[in-house]
Amino acid sequence: MSGYDDRDGKIWMDGKLIDWRDANVHILTHALHYASSVFEGERCYDGKIFLSRKHSERLLKSGELIDMEIPWTVDQIEEAKRAVLDANGLTNAYVRVVAFRGAGEDMGVASAKNPVRMAVAAWEWGNYYGDAKMKGAKLDIAKWKRPSPETIPTAAKAAGLYMICTISKHAAEAKGCSDAMFMDYRGYVAEATGANIFFVKDGEVHTPLPDAILNGLTRQTVIKMLKEKGVTVHERYIMPEELADFEQCWLTGSAAEVTPVGQIGEYMFEVGALTRDISESYERLVRA
C-alpha cells in the first residue's frame, strides 16, 4: 500500500474538497513546531459515523482548552465529514478531523495571529490491533506516566499529549507487544496509548477514573451498555498491584473499538464471556 500522502481521493481542507495529494501545508505551519493541534478519530459504519456530533463537539471543546478557537460550527464539521465520505465513495471507514494553527505572521511560541485551519480525511481501516480481537492484545507497561491536569489540559484530544504515546508504542512493538499501558502521575493505572482500559473481577467491572486521562466516547458508551446489562461498574483509582487479581481486560476507543487484552507485562487475562459479550454488543450498537 502507498503512503498516506500518496493516494487517490479527496480531502476536505479549509472549506473545500481538494485532491488527496494536494492536501499540504507549509513547513512553517505552527502546529508542526509547537503541537498547536487537536483532532478526532471516528468510525463510519454502513454509511453512518458513530457518535458523529459528539466527536465534532469535542473537537471544538479541545480547541477551547488549548486556547485555539476553531472557526467552524458543529453543523459545518458534520457537513465536511459527509462530503468527504461521499466524495470518496466510503460507507465503512475511519474518519480523521484535525484542526491546527497554520503558518502566518507568528513563528514563535505565540501564534494568535496565525489562521486556524481544519481538514477532514477518511479511509478504509480494519482492526486497530489486528487479530487481537480474537486472542487478546499483548501490552507492555510504559516507562512514561500520564501527566497531571495541572501540567497540560488532559481533557483535550490534543496532538502534544500523544508524544509519549508514540515513544511508548514504539518501545512496546520492539518487544513484540501491540501497545503499552500507562500509569498516571500518581502511579495509578491510566490507559493505553490510544484507548481506555477496563478490567473484570468476580463479574464486576473496574475502570480508571478519567481525571487525568481523556474520558473517551467509546468508554462512556461501554459503561452505559454495561449498566444496562446489570453489570456493576466501578470507576475508581486502580493500583498496579491489582492487575494480578483481575480475570479479564479490554480496551476501548473509536479506532480500537472493544479489543480484548490477553497480557499486560507479566499479568495474564482470559478473553472471557463478559469481554466477548460487550465486544459483540458494541459491534451491534454501532451498526444499529
As annotated, the active-site residues are: 157
The helix (H) or strand (E) run that includes residue 39 is strand 37-45
Whole-Å CA distances, 274 to 219, 229, 278: 16, 11, 6
Phi, psi dihedral angles at 9 (to 5 degrees):
125, -175
Evaluate the CA torsion angle 99, 35, 122, 94 in order and state its sign.
Answer: negative
Chain centre distance of CA 267 = 24
Query: Helices in 18-154 by DSSP H: which ranges?
Result: 30-34, 52-65, 74-87, 132-135
User: What's the sign of the alpha-carbon dihedral 127, 133, 134, 138?
Assistant: positive
Q: Which residues contact 217 (CB under 8 A, 6 or more apart)?
A: 51, 54, 55, 58, 254
The answer to whether the CB of 243 falls within 8 A of the CB of 264 is yes
Place of cell 461521499: 86
What are 117's strand-pairing partners?
100
What's the number of CA atoms in the CB half-sphere (13 Å) around residue 204? 8
Q: Return the bridge partners of 263, or none.
A: 138, 268
* 155 touches 215 (CB < 8 A): yes
